[in-house]
């Protein structure tokens, strides 16, 4: 069920690590397929590859060992030569891993995984073209409903690549002091991008409060309240809406990311946020 206007592309980003970007990306991607039946592509733009590990599970080890293509090859623009053959151009499905397909439909969840050596792209002398990803997606995935890009928390060429490919930004934040430090950096980063790319209409769909704060029996206490207040102030200043649904604290999240489905706890409430998000962005 392709959208006539093409896929909605959302990058999940905060210039602060550990706020739940990969977890939220993985769960939104799964939810999009399983509950909404959306034809979905997830892209891991973080060299730590946590999204890839979460969606591929134990299969990620084999992906590494067999040296299957990844986002690295897409940025390089070709498949490297092997002892048995020359370098070759990218095919439309290069680097695309099937995670799941919904029965009796054409909708699936696919992933373009990352590898640790993706970070080499940042340190090599040749700077990759930040528009490569947007071109690859536009050329090969017009039939998708949703593309979710999990970004690294550091401003880099990969951040620019995510902005070029995306129409919307989702900003997870934890209600703790250091997490809000990422807000001004992100605001500046987006402003710089828009100034240098006048054709882009990328906008922030909203801020989601990831309530993964140690409860301590008092729901985080006064420090959490202060952090929430700062989040609201910063979001208002940047005109970023805040989603009503907070993601609850749950020991189920790390288990689910590991592929252990035996306990979900409050993580079972994630679809409440997913519903609010998908409704807000018109999916």
Partner 1 sequence: MTEKRGKHQLLKSLLVPLLREWGYDLVRQCLVEVHVEHTEQSTPTNDRPTGKEHRRLSASEIVERTEVDVARKKVLSLFATRFDAKTFLPSAADVRHFLDMRGQDPGVVKHRQDAFRKVLDVLLSMPDDELEHLQASNAHSGPTQLGPLADAIMETSTVIRTGQPTADPQEPHESTKRAKDAPKPH
Question: Which of 67, 216, 219, 251 contacts partner 1 by CB under 8 A?
Answer: 67
**Does residue 266 interact with partner 1 by CB under 8 A?**
no
DSSP code of residue 118 = G
Q: How far is the CB of 120 from partner 1 (least distance, A)?
A: 8
Question: Which of 3, 6, 100, 246 contacts partner 1 by CB under 8 A?
Answer: 100
**Residue 162 and residue 179: Cα distance in Å, rounded?**
21
Question: Which of 117, 192, 215, 229 contacts partner 1 by CB under 8 A?
Answer: 117
Helix (H, G, I), strand (E, B) or coil at 78: strand
**Does residue 271 interact with partner 1 by CB under 8 A?**
no
User: Which residues, listed in sequence order, are joined to residue 110 by a DSSP beta bridge?
Assistant: 41, 98
Task: Name the segment binding partner 1 (CB under 8 A); options: 185-193, 199-207, 238-246, 261-269.
Answer: 261-269
Q: How far is the CB of 80 from partner 1 (least distance, A)?
A: 10
Nearer to partner 1, 10 or 49 (CB): 49
Task: Name the segment binding partner 1 (CB under 8 A); options: 28-36, 85-93, 151-159, 217-225.
Answer: 28-36
Neighbours of 62 (CB within 10 A): 10
DSSP code of residue 82 = B
Nearer to partner 1, 54 or 209 (CB): 54
**Does residue 126 interact with partner 1 by CB under 8 A?**
no
Contacts of 83 (CB under 8 A, 6+ apart): none
Residue with tokens 């930004």: 169
Q: How far is the CB of 115 from partner 1 (least distance, A)?
A: 8
**Does residue 164 interact with partner 1 by CB under 8 A?**
no
Q: What is the 3-state secondary structure (H, E, C) of 34-64?
A: HCCCCCEEEEEECCCCHHHHHHHCCHHHHHH
The number of residues that bind partner 1 (CB under 8 A) is 36
CA dihedral (252, 9, 114, 128) positive or negative: negative
Nearest Cα to 111, choosing from 187, 166, 33? Answer: 33
**Does residue 191 interact with partner 1 by CB under 8 A?**
no
The stretches of 105-176 forming alpha helices (DSSP H) are: 120-123, 132-140, 157-165
**Does residue 251 interact with partner 1 by CB under 8 A?**
no
Task: Give the residues lining the site for partner 1 (CB under 8 A).
Answer: 30, 33-34, 37, 53, 56-62, 64-67, 98-105, 109, 115-117, 120, 255, 258-263
């Amino acid at each position: 069920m392709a959208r006539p206007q093409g896929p909605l592309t959302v990058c999940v980003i905060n210039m602060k690590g550990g706020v739940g970007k990969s977890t939220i990306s993985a769960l939104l991607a799964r939810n999009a397929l399983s509950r909404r039946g959306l034809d979905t592509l997830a892209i891991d733009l973080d060299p730590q590859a946590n999204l890839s590990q979460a969606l591929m599970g134990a299969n990620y080890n084999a992906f590494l060992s067999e040296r299957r293509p990844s986002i690295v090859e897409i940025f390089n623009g070709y498949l490297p030569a092997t002892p048995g053959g020359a370098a070759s151009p990218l095919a439309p499905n290069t680097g695309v891993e099937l995670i799941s397909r919904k029965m009796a439909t054409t909708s699936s969840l696919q992933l373009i995984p990352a590898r640790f050596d993706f970070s080499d792209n940042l340190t090599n002398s040749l700077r990759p073209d930040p528009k490569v990803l947007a071109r690859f997606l536009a050329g090969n995935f017009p039939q998708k409903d949703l593309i979710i890009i999990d970004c690294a928390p550091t401003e880099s060429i990969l951040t620019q690549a995510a902005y070029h490919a995306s129409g919307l930004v989702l900003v997870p934040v934890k209600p703790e002091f250091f997490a809000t430090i990422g807000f001004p950096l992100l605001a500046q980063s987006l402003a710089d991008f828009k100034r240098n790319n006048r054709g882009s209409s990328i906008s922030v769909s909203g801020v989601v409060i990831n309530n993964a704060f140690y409860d301590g029996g008092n729901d985080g206490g006064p420090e959490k309240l202060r952090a929430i207040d700062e989040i609201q102030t910063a979001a208002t200043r940047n005109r970023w809406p805040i989603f009503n649904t907070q993601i609850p604290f749950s020991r189920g999240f790390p288990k689910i990311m590991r592929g252990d489905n035996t306990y979900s706890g409050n993580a079972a409430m994630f679809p409440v946020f997913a519903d609010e998000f998908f409704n807000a962005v018109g999916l």
